[in-house]
Each structure stands twice: as C-alpha cells, then as structure tokens.
C-alpha cells in the first residue's frame, strides 16, 4: 500500500476494512468528499473482499467504479495469508467468484526476497546482519519492526 501511494502521487488511497465496509463504500452516492484526481482502492487479501452473499466485490461492483467519475485503480493481494486463513470449504466457495474477479486482473508476481540491487541499497542504511535477515524475506522482518521498536524504546 505504501509503495502504491509513493509511486502514484496525487492519488487518494482508500483501504476498506472488510467486505461490508467495501459494499457500503460502493453504494451510489456513498463515496465521501475527496480531493479531485485518481483513486487507488486497496484490497489487501482479496479473499476477504470477494462477494459471497450481500457484501463484497463482484463483477458488477467492479463495473460500478466507473460511476466515480475519476480514474480508479484497484490494487490487491491474493493467495497469500488471506488464502491460508480460509477453511477448505471457504476456499471452494470462493473459487468461482474470485476467478470471475481475477479475469479483470493483471497479475504482478512479487518475490519476498530482496534482489542483489535491493540488498546493496539496504546496506547503505542498515547493518549487514539486518540486511542478511531481510534478504531472505523482508515481510517477517518488517512485521516485527514495530514490536521491536516499542520494546527497545519503552521508557
């Protein structure tokens, strides 16, 4: 999400909590007063936002984004921790509606590991032992950072 807002300046970033809040946001006239310009709709763990029942995103909701009268980029993650949190029954139930949404998607595979260039850049700012840990996967290291910071800086 931070990368999107840094790379796409002058955008409004909207990140709904769950399928119900997304459904409320997508109702006609529900979009709050925002600065003019493009919108990035961030759906972290797409599985949480897929329409099952009365809440969530489906093809119709995706098409209704055109009614916002401004460019809208929908960004999301799929198949990671959101997928692992689902039961087998939920995965089966979500398979078809998720597939329907992904027909509109452009997949951009991301590696959890730092490239050689990214490691070199990180070494300019962090100790080698930290970069070595981040090189194998930055996610776990960054998720722990606030906890470590709070522990280290606690009075």
d(CA 40, CA 98): 20
Phi and psi dihedrals of 57, rounded to 5? -100, 135
Residue 70: per-residue pLDDT: 87
What does the pLDDT look like over 86-139, one tens digit per residue? 778 877 887 888 888 888 888 887 777 788 888 888 888 888 888 887 777 666
Angle among Cα 152, 136, 153 to the nearest 5 degrees reads 5
d(CA 46, CA 3): 18
Residue 121: per-residue pLDDT: 87
Find where tokens 């401004």 sit: 70
Q: Which residue has the higher pLDDT, 2 or 13?
A: 13
Residue 82: per-residue pLDDT: 67
Residue 148 has pLDDT above 50, yes or no: no
DSSP class of residue 52 equals: B
Residue 152: per-residue pLDDT: 43
Span 26-44, mean pLDDT? 86
Closest CA to 107 of 137, 79, 72: 79
What does the pLDDT look like over 78-88, one tens digit per residue? 877 666 777 78
Residue 28 has pLDDT above 50, yes or no: yes
Residue 16: per-residue pLDDT: 92
Residue 9: per-residue pLDDT: 66
């Amino acid at each position: 999400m931070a990368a999107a807002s840094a790379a796409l300046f002058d955008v409004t970033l909207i990140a709904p909590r769950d399928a119900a809040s997304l459904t409320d946001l997508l109702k006609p006239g529900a979009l709050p007063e925002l600065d003019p310009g493009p919108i990035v709709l961030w759906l972290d763990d797409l599985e949480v936002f897929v329409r099952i029942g009365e809440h969530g995103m489906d093809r119709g909701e995706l098409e209704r984004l055109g009614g916002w009268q401004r460019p809208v980029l929908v960004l999301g993650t799929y198949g990671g921790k959101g997928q692992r949190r689902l039961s087998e029954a939920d995965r089966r139930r979500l398979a078809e509606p998720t597939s329907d949404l992904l027909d509109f998607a452009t997949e951009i595979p991301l590696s959890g590991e730092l490239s050689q260039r990214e490691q070199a850049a990180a070494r300019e700012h962090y100790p080698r032992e930290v970069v070595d840990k981040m090189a194998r996967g930055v996610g776990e290291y960054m998720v722990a950072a606030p906890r470590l910071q709070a522990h280290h800086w606690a009075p």
